Amino acid sequence: MREEAGKALEAMFQAAEKDNMHFAGVSAYRSHQTQITVFNNYVAKDGEEKAKTYSAMPGTSEHETGLAIDVTTHDGACAAQDCFGDTNEAAWLAEHAHEYGFIIRYPEGKENITGYKYEPWHIRYVGVDTATEIYEAKITLEEYYNAVPVEAVSNK
Protein backbone atom coordinates (compact mmCIF):
# COMPACT_ATOMS: atom_id res chain seq x y z
CA MET A 1 0.00 0.00 0.00
CA ARG A 2 1.04 3.61 -0.30
CA GLU A 3 2.90 4.76 2.78
CA GLU A 4 0.17 7.05 4.16
CA ALA A 5 -2.53 4.40 3.71
CA GLY A 6 -0.31 1.68 5.17
CA LYS A 7 0.45 3.71 8.28
CA ALA A 8 -3.24 4.49 8.75
CA LEU A 9 -4.07 0.81 8.36
CA GLU A 10 -1.51 -0.15 11.01
CA ALA A 11 -2.95 2.42 13.41
CA MET A 12 -6.49 1.16 12.74
CA PHE A 13 -5.50 -2.48 13.30
CA GLN A 14 -3.78 -1.53 16.59
CA ALA A 15 -6.88 0.36 17.76
CA ALA A 16 -9.06 -2.60 16.80
CA GLU A 17 -6.90 -4.94 18.89
CA LYS A 18 -7.56 -2.75 21.94
CA ASP A 19 -11.27 -3.49 21.36
CA ASN A 20 -10.45 -7.20 20.96
CA MET A 21 -11.00 -7.08 17.20
CA HIS A 22 -8.31 -8.76 15.14
CA PHE A 23 -7.99 -8.17 11.41
CA ALA A 24 -5.88 -9.61 8.66
CA GLY A 25 -5.22 -8.17 5.22
CA VAL A 26 -6.30 -10.37 2.32
CA SER A 27 -5.38 -8.37 -0.75
CA ALA A 28 -3.91 -4.87 -0.96
CA TYR A 29 -1.83 -3.55 -3.85
CA ARG A 30 -2.14 -5.48 -7.10
CA SER A 31 -0.09 -4.81 -10.18
CA HIS A 32 -1.94 -4.28 -13.43
CA GLN A 33 -0.85 -7.75 -14.59
CA THR A 34 -2.17 -9.32 -11.39
CA GLN A 35 -5.51 -7.55 -11.85
CA ILE A 36 -5.70 -8.90 -15.41
CA THR A 37 -5.23 -12.42 -14.04
CA VAL A 38 -7.74 -11.93 -11.21
CA PHE A 39 -10.40 -10.46 -13.49
CA ASN A 40 -9.90 -13.08 -16.21
CA ASN A 41 -10.23 -15.88 -13.65
CA TYR A 42 -13.56 -14.45 -12.49
CA VAL A 43 -14.74 -14.08 -16.08
CA ALA A 44 -13.86 -17.72 -16.74
CA LYS A 45 -15.78 -18.74 -13.62
CA ASP A 46 -18.92 -16.55 -13.86
CA GLY A 47 -18.89 -14.79 -17.24
CA GLU A 48 -17.93 -11.17 -17.87
CA GLU A 49 -21.25 -9.55 -16.96
CA LYS A 50 -21.40 -11.14 -13.50
CA ALA A 51 -17.66 -10.74 -12.91
CA LYS A 52 -17.99 -6.98 -13.44
CA THR A 53 -20.38 -6.79 -10.44
CA TYR A 54 -17.65 -7.85 -8.04
CA SER A 55 -14.31 -7.44 -9.78
CA ALA A 56 -12.85 -4.39 -11.47
CA MET A 57 -11.68 -4.50 -15.03
CA PRO A 58 -7.91 -4.16 -15.28
CA GLY A 59 -6.92 -0.50 -15.17
CA THR A 60 -9.91 0.44 -13.02
CA SER A 61 -9.21 -1.52 -9.84
CA GLU A 62 -8.69 0.46 -6.65
CA HIS A 63 -6.18 -2.19 -5.66
CA GLU A 64 -3.94 -0.90 -8.45
CA THR A 65 -3.80 2.51 -6.70
CA GLY A 66 -2.26 1.22 -3.47
CA LEU A 67 -5.11 2.86 -1.51
CA ALA A 68 -7.43 -0.13 -1.09
CA ILE A 69 -7.27 -3.37 0.85
CA ASP A 70 -9.57 -6.30 1.46
CA VAL A 71 -9.61 -7.30 5.14
CA THR A 72 -10.99 -10.20 7.11
CA THR A 73 -11.02 -11.67 10.59
CA HIS A 74 -7.67 -12.80 12.01
CA ASP A 75 -8.52 -16.44 11.31
CA GLY A 76 -9.30 -15.79 7.65
CA ALA A 77 -12.90 -16.94 7.98
CA CYS A 78 -15.15 -15.25 5.45
CA ALA A 79 -12.24 -13.68 3.57
CA ALA A 80 -13.76 -11.64 0.71
CA GLN A 81 -17.10 -13.34 1.30
CA ASP A 82 -20.52 -11.98 2.18
CA CYS A 83 -20.42 -13.71 5.59
CA PHE A 84 -17.75 -11.18 6.66
CA GLY A 85 -20.57 -8.63 6.92
CA ASP A 86 -22.06 -10.62 9.80
CA THR A 87 -18.89 -10.56 11.92
CA ASN A 88 -18.11 -8.33 14.88
CA GLU A 89 -15.04 -7.18 12.96
CA ALA A 90 -17.20 -5.91 10.10
CA ALA A 91 -19.38 -3.98 12.55
CA TRP A 92 -16.28 -2.46 14.16
CA LEU A 93 -14.87 -1.55 10.76
CA ALA A 94 -18.12 0.11 9.66
CA GLU A 95 -18.17 2.18 12.84
CA HIS A 96 -14.49 3.13 13.11
CA ALA A 97 -12.76 2.95 9.70
CA HIS A 98 -13.40 6.63 8.99
CA GLU A 99 -11.45 7.60 12.12
CA TYR A 100 -8.35 6.32 10.33
CA GLY A 101 -9.18 7.67 6.87
CA PHE A 102 -10.88 4.61 5.39
CA ILE A 103 -14.35 4.11 3.94
CA ILE A 104 -16.30 0.96 3.24
CA ARG A 105 -16.00 1.47 -0.48
CA TYR A 106 -18.98 -0.58 -1.65
CA PRO A 107 -21.70 -0.16 0.99
CA GLU A 108 -24.88 -2.16 1.20
CA GLY A 109 -27.81 -0.75 -0.76
CA LYS A 110 -25.62 1.45 -2.97
CA GLU A 111 -24.89 -1.07 -5.73
CA ASN A 112 -26.69 1.03 -8.35
CA ILE A 113 -24.37 3.93 -7.54
CA THR A 114 -21.01 2.16 -7.15
CA GLY A 115 -21.61 -0.52 -9.77
CA TYR A 116 -20.40 -3.22 -7.38
CA LYS A 117 -22.12 -5.54 -4.97
CA TYR A 118 -21.85 -4.92 -1.23
CA GLU A 119 -18.31 -5.62 -0.04
CA PRO A 120 -17.94 -4.92 3.68
CA TRP A 121 -14.33 -6.13 3.50
CA HIS A 122 -13.12 -3.69 0.83
CA ILE A 123 -11.87 -0.48 2.36
CA ARG A 124 -10.36 2.52 0.60
CA TYR A 125 -8.12 5.16 2.07
CA VAL A 126 -9.34 8.71 1.37
CA GLY A 127 -7.98 10.57 4.41
CA VAL A 128 -9.66 11.26 7.74
CA ASP A 129 -11.56 14.42 6.75
CA THR A 130 -13.08 12.96 3.59
CA ALA A 131 -13.77 9.59 5.22
CA THR A 132 -15.54 11.30 8.11
CA GLU A 133 -17.70 13.39 5.77
CA ILE A 134 -18.65 10.29 3.78
CA TYR A 135 -19.35 8.31 6.95
CA GLU A 136 -21.49 11.02 8.56
CA ALA A 137 -23.51 11.64 5.37
CA LYS A 138 -23.89 7.88 4.76
CA ILE A 139 -22.90 8.31 1.13
CA THR A 140 -20.54 6.70 -1.37
CA LEU A 141 -17.38 8.13 -2.86
CA GLU A 142 -19.34 8.70 -6.09
CA GLU A 143 -21.95 10.73 -4.20
CA TYR A 144 -19.26 12.67 -2.35
CA TYR A 145 -17.71 13.76 -5.65
CA ASN A 146 -21.12 14.13 -7.30
CA ALA A 147 -20.03 11.65 -9.98
CA VAL A 148 -22.46 10.14 -12.45
CA PRO A 149 -23.74 6.81 -11.11
CA VAL A 150 -22.17 3.83 -12.83
CA GLU A 151 -25.62 2.59 -13.83
CA ALA A 152 -26.26 5.79 -15.81
CA VAL A 153 -22.97 5.44 -17.65
CA SER A 154 -23.50 1.78 -18.52
CA ASN A 155 -26.94 2.50 -19.99
CA LYS A 156 -25.50 4.80 -22.66
> What positions carry a catalytic annotation?
119
User: d(Cα 116, Cα 66) in Å, to the nearest integer?
Assistant: 19
| Residues pairing with 122 in the sheet | 70
DSSP label of 63: G
User: d(Cα 39, Cα 133) in Å, to the nearest integer?
Assistant: 32
* E strand residue ranges, the chain: 23-27, 68-73, 102-106, 119-125
With beta carbons less than 8 A apart as the criterion, state whether 125 and 67 touch: yes
User: d(Cα 155, Cα 8) in Å, to the nearest integer?
Assistant: 37
Helices within 29-127 (DSSP H only): 32-46, 48-51, 88-96, 111-114
